Every structure is written in structure tokens, then in C-alpha cells.
Amino acid sequence: MEFFDNLKKGAQKIILLDVMIKEFNLNQSLVIVYGEWAKATLAISIQGSALIEL
């Protein structure tokens, strides 16, 4: 059941993203680039925090 709940949440996120792209007249390619950039920045931040704790 958890798999289907996660699948439903993922589908809702995709629908929300599509609505945001249309509503704000965004370039879909830029949305993907900024999303990947944000994930990479967050990962680097988490790694930096872990290194400081060492």
C-alpha cells in the first residue's frame, strides 16, 4: 500500500509542477535545470555540514 501512496504523491507533484509551469509561463527546460541545481546545492550543503561536524 505504501508503494501506491508514494506513487500518488509523485503524480500529484508532477501535476502541480505542470500547473506552475503553465500558470507562471515558465520555460520547462529552465525548470528542470533549476530543479537539478537546487538538488545539487542542497546535497553540497548537507555534505559541508557533515564535514564540519567531523
Let me know how long the chain is.
Answer: 54
**Cα→Cα distances 38→31, 42, 54, Å:** 10, 6, 25
Is the pLDDT at 3 greater than 70? The verdict is no
Domain region containing 36: 2-53
What total number of domains does the chain contain?
Answer: 1
CB 17 within 8 A of CB 9: no
Give the confidence band of 1 by pLDDT, cuts at 50, 70, 90.
low
Share of the chain above pLDDT 90, in %: 41
Is the pLDDT at 40 greater than 90? The verdict is yes
CB 26 within 8 A of CB 20: yes
Give the confidence band of 20 by pLDDT, cuts at 50, 70, 90.
confident
pTM: 0.58
